[in-house]
Amino acid sequence: MPLGTLDRTPPPFFKQGPSALSKLMVCSALALFLMVVDSRFRIAQPLRAAVATVLYPLQWVAMRPMFLVRAAGEYFESLHSAQAAEEAARRKLALQALRANQVEQLTLENERLRKLLQLRDRITTAAQPAEVLYDAADPYSRKVIIDRGLAQGIEAGSPVIDESGVLGQVTRVQPLISEVTLVIDREQSIPVMNVRTGARSVAYGDPSAHGALLELRFMAGNADVQIGDLLTTSGVDGIYPPGLPVAKVEKVERRAESGFARILCTPQALVDGARHVMVLSPLTAQIPPRLAEDPPPAPAKKTQRK
């Protein structure tokens, strides 16, 4: 093929069009024109709405993982906050309950102390306050331990009262503590007087191991004793001052086959919950010593006659 017949025109691939700068300027001018026209006449608003409507499902799906992660974080954060608030509320409630119980206990103790002081004002014998430490370990007796002993001048046999009446009697004294046998102990007895009738008798502790009553023994079946009668100390034993409340008659059984009535009484003192008590001096310590009697005159000697 001869060389003169070849097409020497350049192929379309190598043809040169407008320059890049020209294209940039034209596109910039077109974009500026469209921006100005859109800002004035809102011609692209329908197009934006259509594109947003079409792309919304894709956008919703793409945003789900982020929403799930955020919701999970908020859930655990709110759960932790709720648990912390619940724990704080429980602690506050427990503290308030403790304070309420303390207030009630202090109010009760204050009321009992007031009554104890009022009872002390009516007693002429010497007395000193004491506090119950604990109950005695012996399960077959009803005794308590108080925080007063020989160092404070406590004597064996001293009566012990609380704000309601006679609680018991000091039966053992140690240097710093003392043992008080309650009136309901089966080995304890106390002379009493019926306030309504003036009749005297003796109240004994309940013979059962865990009893909390007193019993008037050896009372005639026709004795004038009624339910509700108040029994006080008679003072004839030389230990308890007269007039201290001891018990109230709770039950009276008159049995035909027996000549004696069975009379049960409820102690006035708080035998199961006393805390602050008053230890009195026994009446024997206040009784003056008996005067020495004059010796009888010697018989006159008879004179012998010589």
- Residue ranges of domains in the chain: 23-121, 127-285
From 2.60.40.3080, 2.60.40.10, 3.30.200.20, 2.40.10.340, which CATH number describes the 127-285 domain? 2.40.10.340
What Cα–Cα distance (Å) separates residue 283 from each residue in 80, 146, 149, 240? 70, 21, 19, 7
Contact, 174 vs 150, CB < 8 A? Answer: yes
How many angstroms separate the CA atoms of 67 and 74, rounded?
10
Banded pLDDT at 306 (limits 50, 70, 90): very low
How many angstroms separate the CA atoms of 227 and 263, rounded?
9
The pLDDT of residue 51 is 81
Banded pLDDT at 3 (limits 50, 70, 90): low
Token pair 């007087």 is found at: 193
- Percent of the chain exceeding pLDDT 90 equals 23
Q: Is the pTM of this model over 0.75?
A: no
